[in-house]
Chain A
Amino acid sequence: MSGTIRGKVECYFGFRNTPTGTGAGYRDIVQEVFTAIYKYFKVHPNMTEVARHGGIGSTASSVNYWDESFPFTNNAWFVFKMNTVTENPLYIGTRTFPWYVLVQWNRDDQASFGSSPGNPGKCENNANYSGNNSRIGIQFAIGIGGDQNPWNGTGTLGQNVKGSPVWKTPTGGTGVIVYPRSNNVGGAHVTNKENTSHIFYRDSGNTTSPSKVHIIMDDDNFVFLADPTYIDQWSLCYFGVFVPRPDLTFEYPYVMLNTITGYLPILRGNVYGSTNGQGWCNESPNNGGGIPAPNPAVNGVRGLFMERYQLLFDSSSPYVFMNPNKYFDTPVFDEYPIPIAMYEYPNWYGYAGQIDFIKETSGSETRCRTTGTGTRYVVGGSTSLTNVVKLSVPWPASVNPGIGLTREGIVF
């Protein structure tokens, strides 16, 4: 982990009236979330925009909210690069390779996820959603060796086109790893590397509730937290560093862990990263992640699971009120790093290390700090339940959780 903790938090996407009197629809909320992510990446000082298409019928200027001029339209997508010291002399971390992120949104009443300009593209192994849904999918990629650039697209910014495959071995390099796992050797999308993992979704089943989103990053890690229907049921997408187990060397210690449409807490023991590239969060394996195998240029990204201690997080345990920790003179909440293991039986499995950027805790309300004005934020479960596992993430000391009521949120 390196660089300043920064983010765009408390983004609120509501059903307000537009200047023309038209209310935002549930699909427009998805467009707003997509646009909010774009706008944040654009101002992140360690990220560089690599490619973008404004969507069907758009121009290079189409980068705005649906109710503004030149909005992102259906099947818009963008690619950013998280830089290293090579591109950004101010980068102070240890990462020697850039990572790339592709984000795409779709409203399937107009066109399928895999249609132009989103092609080739799938979300949860599906290129042809139809009906009343709208969604955002995400991919991450790391080029191995050579010029370290795995992007295979062409064209000019704003009207770029994807290549097929979407990601390639860098010039002079030896391979590419793409998250989620199905885009790698042994996966259904190894050829085109076009499958994305779901991070936000709305459908006609709820046309009235607003949504809330937080994006939290440093110069290595990405956290996306969403409460799609504003009822304190939060989903997570994490892509970032893990600390390898002692004695284990990782050239690319980066992991993706995404609860897809499921809600926190992360499901212990479920495998995140299916070979067929589909599976919702409560299924195992699902399409929510990946971790590099040994010799990743050849063996790619594989599925993983996360772990947590018994008793300390068990809502049925009499010990669940173990938090806050009364061993301290002033009780303190214990936050535990998240252990992760590669898992594709029978050939690929083993404890890999632990994630420190996001952690887990228990015994706390949701949407609160670990301490009064502390710099960690606890989220997950329900406000009425303290005895369930919660996720904790970095948080700005200046922001009181729960206060945001604009789609611009609070950038820090």
Chain B
Amino acid sequence: MGGTLRGKIDCYSNSGSQYTNPQAVFKGLYDFLKSHPNMTEIARHGGSGGSASNINYYDEANPFNHQAWYVFRMNDATLESGAANPTGYSGPRTFPWYIYVQFSRGDVGQDWNASPANPSYYEAQTGTYWNAGIVGVQFCIPVGTIAGTSEAPWNGGGTLGTNTKGSPVWRTTAGTPTGFQGSFVFPRSNSPGGSHSSARQNCSNIVNINGYGGPVRYSFIADDDSLVILTNVGDDANTWTMNYFGLYTPRTGLTINYPMVYLQWTLPLAVGNTVYGSTGGAYPGGGIPLNAVATDGVRQVIISRYNEFFNQYSSPNKMFATEKYDEFRIPVIVYESPTFFGYAGDIDFIREVYNWSPNDMTTGRLRAAWGTNTPFGIKLTTPWNGVTSPRSTFTRAGVTFP
């Protein structure tokens, strides 16, 4: 993990509409990515009928309209232009990654796939979500032999604010430009063997508010490598959706060129028989890249968890003079039997803990817990800003740090 930990956290939107609350999430994430010093805006469309000025909240002038979308690049040491990164990236990555985010509201009667967002799928569907507001997401890692231009996978055209998407959304043809070898596109269905390997247009869910007008609370936390997005429809501290795209630490002895993983699901994350990133593209979202981009691409991933450490008699840890809670890293495993399977490594940016109350934090408020609203149970922990009490802020701007 590299760079400064930063975030836009504890944001709260209570517009009273299932259509405009997601727009606030979409706009909030845009603002966070735009302000991130290691990220570069690559493309954007303000949405149906929008212009380059349409980048605001639904209740402001020039809002993001339905079918708006944007693309950002998380840089490594080299920008897309080939120039050195002026922020002086200091992490372990030698490749950039990209994020695509799209907003849709069903009350306008437009398909998810409607212009200017086409081509696009949401969890393997293209139709109209009549009663819902949705924000979807994709991630992409380009593979190139020349830092900079050969690591530019975005296949769109046009000028910023009214860009268009290409088909495929992410370039696939090796050699164009020189040095380009292909793209790892997440969720997994956008890769070889997946339903969306041709147009690479399938998205996963950041937030989907269906027929509910209550509030939504959301946080975005990132360093210069990893990003976690948390949304809680209803602000009940009980129904969180998590998106994590970021680094994992490979298993000892294993050389992985792109040690990044994508997990998307409600909390706590499912272990059981849940596969993150199905070939068909339905939820949960996820994927893990193999080394051969052209033939293997991104594959399904599962996670594991200890058993006894996640019951009420194991936490907090009384081995310490002053009791402490154990946070456990999350093991990730590539899983597409019979050809692709094996333990890959562990995620450390997000972890799991037992016996924390919802919204609990570590001493010093440097990590916070998310999950169900019962005191027992498995919680996900993420970095936090050291100051803010979760659910203490009631503005859509939230708290920005550092």
Contacts and interface: CB of A to CB of B under 8 A. Distances in A.
Contacts of A351: 309, 314, 317, 319, 326
B8 to A, nearest CB: 30
A268 B308 contact: yes
A321 B253 CA distance: 20
Interface stretch (A32-40, A60-68, A91-99, A302-310): A302-310
Contact of B334 (A309, A327, A348): A327
Interface string B288-327: 0010000000000010111111000111111111011010
Name the residue among B253, B307, B319, B326 with the largest chain A CB count within 10 angstroms.
B319
For B273, B323, B326, which residue has the most chain A Cβ atoms within 10 angstroms?
B326
B326 A350 contact: yes
B318 A349 contact: yes
A205 to B, nearest CB: 34
Of the candidates B273, B304, B315, B334, the one having the most CB atoms from chain A within 10 angstroms of its own CB is B304
A331 B334 CA distance: 13
Interface in B306-355: 306-309, 313-321, 323-324, 326, 331, 333-335, 337, 339-344
B314 A349 contact: yes
Interface string A323-340: 111111001101000010
Given A294-B321, A322-B333, A351-B314, A245 B326 contact: yes
A334 B251 contact: yes
Contacts of B304: 309-312
B387 interface: no
A163 B337 CA distance: 60
Interface in A36-68: none
B108 interface: no
B333 A326 contact: no
Contacts of B61: none
B366 interface: no
Nearest to B317: A350
A326 B314 contact: no
Interface residues of B, number: 37
A177 interface: no
A352 B318 CA distance: 10
Contacts of A342: 318-319
Contacts, number: 114
B306 A322 contact: no
Given A294-B321, A311-B302, A325 B343 contact: yes
A164 to B, nearest CB: 32
A343 interface: yes
A349 B309 CA distance: 10
Contacts of A305: 308
A326 B341 contact: yes
Contacts of B315: 350
A341 B335 CA distance: 29
Contacts of A312: 304, 331, 333, 343
B174 to A, nearest CB: 21
Interface in A286-321: 293-294, 305, 307-312, 318-319, 321
Contact of B256 (A321, A327, A348): A327
Contacts of B307: 268-269, 307-308, 310
B337 to A, nearest CB: 7
A contacts with B: majority SS: loop
Contacts of B305: 309-310
Nearest to B319: A350
Interface size class of chain A, counting residues whose CB lies under 8 Å from the partner chain: 35 or more
Contacts of A269: 307-308
B343 A350 contact: no
B225 to A, nearest CB: 21
Interface string A203-216: 00000000000000
A322 B342 contact: yes
B320 A248 contact: yes
B306 A310 contact: yes
Contacts of B341: 319, 321-322, 325-327
B319 A339 contact: no
Contacts of A341: 308-309, 314
Nearest to A248: B319
A322 B331 CA distance: 13
Contacts of B302: 311, 319
Contacts of B323: 350
Contacts of A339: 306, 309
A322 B309 contact: no
Given A248-B319, A328-B254, A350 B314 contact: yes
Given A326-B339, A349-B318, A308 B306 contact: yes
A247 B323 CA distance: 12
Contact of B273 (A268, A318, A334): A318
B319 A294 contact: yes
B309 A307 contact: yes
A352 B254 contact: no
Contacts of B344: 327
A110 B76 CA distance: 77
B271 interface: yes
Contacts of A327: 251, 254, 256, 290, 334, 341-344
A17 interface: no
Nearest to A339: B306
A331 B251 CA distance: 13
Contacts of B337: 318, 321
Given A345-B313, A351-B314, A319 B326 contact: no
A387 to B, nearest CB: 13
Nearest to B313: A345
A347 interface: yes
Contact of B335 (A319, A343, A347): A319
Interface string B235-261: 000000000000000010110100000
Nearest to A341: B314
Nearest to A247: B324
- Chain B CB count within 10 A is highest, among A245, A294, A319, for A319
Contacts of B340: 326
Contacts of B271: 310-311
B319 A352 contact: yes
Contacts of A332: 253
Nearest to A353: B319
A288 to B, nearest CB: 16
Nearest to A334: B343
Contacts of A245: 317, 319, 326
A347 B319 CA distance: 10
A309 B256 contact: no
A289 to B, nearest CB: 15
A328 B342 contact: yes
A319 B333 contact: yes
Contact of B308 (A307, A319, A326): A307
A339 B310 CA distance: 13
Contacts of B335: 319, 322
9 contacts: A247-B324, A248-B319, A294-B320, A294-B321, A318-B273, A325-B343, A326-B342, A327-B334, A350-B315
Given A308-B307, A322-B341, 11 more contacts: A245-B319, A321-B337, A325-B254, A327-B334, A327-B343, A334-B343, A341-B309, A342-B318, A342-B319, A343-B314, A349-B317
Q: Name the 9 nearest CB pairs between A and B, nearest first.
A: A350-B317, A325-B342, A327-B342, A350-B319, A309-B304, A350-B318, A351-B326, A334-B343, A307-B306
